Structure 1
Amino acid sequence: MLYSKIVVAYDGSETADKALDTAMKLTKLDQDSRLEILHVFNFPKYMLGDGVVVPSISIENTDYSKQVTDKLKGKIMDDSNVHIEVREGASAAKEILAYASESHADLIVVGSRGLNSLGEFILGSVSHSIVQHAKIPVLVVK
């Protein structure tokens, strides 16, 4: 068995689509592997004096998350070995790492994005943090 449980971080972007395609190909190599797709969104929080204000649930965030999960369902042909999870968190990287640990994953697949014109050599902040802190292998897809 190559990988028994693969977690792929998915935000709907082009690089996330590439990461998902790669993770799906890896999953197809072994009929017993399981694909865990994780979408993380963040409700904005604002500092007001000494307190933190968390606005009520944002329709925009929940609509976008629904669009992302609908897009995922359209991409997945055989969903018998696939689970889609949506979580809220201030740090996408921390949520992805926590989910990978909780689900006993043995590989994390994440997309990379360029930050500027030299960005082809620089990982995005989420993928960089995952690579730095993961206790399991991480595949970064460009």
Structure 2
Amino acid sequence: MSFSNILVAYDGGMPSVKALDKAIDMVRHYPEAKLTVIYVYSVAAVAVADSVVSVPVSIQREQFLEAQEQLKEVEARLAPIPNAATALLEGSPGEAIVDYADRHRCDLIIVGNRGFGAIREFVMGSVSHYVLQHTEVPLLVIK
């Protein structure tokens, strides 16, 4: 099966590094394929008792700058690859990945697996599980 529009979700963690490595290897076999690496950062609000407190602007800015730095490293790795691009998105990672894949007609999504145990994944959820449940696009989860 050949893929022409591959999307990789990246967050700088080891599972996403492995996912990026796999995607780069794949596009070497499909040189006409487009490869897009997205980094989704989220600015979460903090719940305190019965109130929701916004994260301070300084912390939001730090998260944004960290995301930009992560993508600069990815862009350096993608430099020799034709048809490669990056995108920086804000929001819920799972939702942003599914939405991006749908809007850009990706035909493969590659994500890293966090490796949560069954109980922790049940309580916290996982991005890969969310994407699996909400997309029609083939999904490759890298361990």
Deviations along 1:90-141, one digit per CA (max 9) or x if unpaired, are x20000000001111000000001224998xxxx610011111111100000
Q: Which runs of 5+ in 2 are unaligned?
A: none
Tell me the C-alpha RMSD between the 2 structures.
2.5
**Is residue 8–residue 110 contact of structure 1 (8 Å, CA) maintained in 2?**
yes
TM-score by length of 1: 0.84
SS at match of 1:6: strand
2:67 maps to a residue whose letter is S
Give the whole-Å Cα distance in 2 for the aligned partners of 1:10 and 1:75. Answer: 13
Structure 1 vs Structure 2: percent identity of aligned residues? Answer: 32
2:104 maps to a residue whose letter is S
Q: Which runs of 5+ in 1 are unaligned?
A: none
- How far is the alpha carbon of 1:27 from its aligned partner? 1.3
Deviations along 1:63-104, one digit per CA (max 9) or x if unpaired, are 211221122023224143111000000x20000000001111
Give the whole-Å Cα distance in 2 for the aligned partners of 1:73 and 1:84. Answer: 7
2:11 paired residue number: 11
Indicate whether 1:26 and 2:26 are aligned. Answer: yes
SS at match of 2:82: coil
Give the whole-Å Cα distance in 2 for the aligned partners of 1:79 and 1:27. Answer: 8
The ranges of structure 1 where at least 4 consecutive aligned residues each deviate by more than 6 angstroms after the TM superposition are 48-52
**Is residue 45–residue 55 contact of structure 1 (8 Å, CA) maintained in 2?**
no
Give the whole-Å Cα distance in 1 for the aligned partners of 2:9 and 2:63. Answer: 17
Larger helix percent: 2
Q: CA separation of 1:51/1:128 partners in 2, compared to 1, >3 Å: closer, same or farther?
A: closer
Give the whole-Å Cα distance in 2 for the aligned partners of 1:51 and 1:63. Answer: 24
**Is residue 68–residue 88 contact of structure 2 (8 Å, CA) maintained in 1?**
no
Corresponding pairs, count: 137
Q: CA separation of 1:116/1:50 partners in 2, compared to 1, >3 Å: closer, same or farther?
A: closer
Deviations along 1:9-55, one digit per CA (max 9) or x if unpaired, are 00001110100011111111122100011100011224686877464
Q: CA separation of 1:64/1:72 partners in 2, compared to 1, >3 Å: closer, same or farther?
A: same
The structure 2 residue matched to 1:80, chosen from 82, 94, 109, is 82
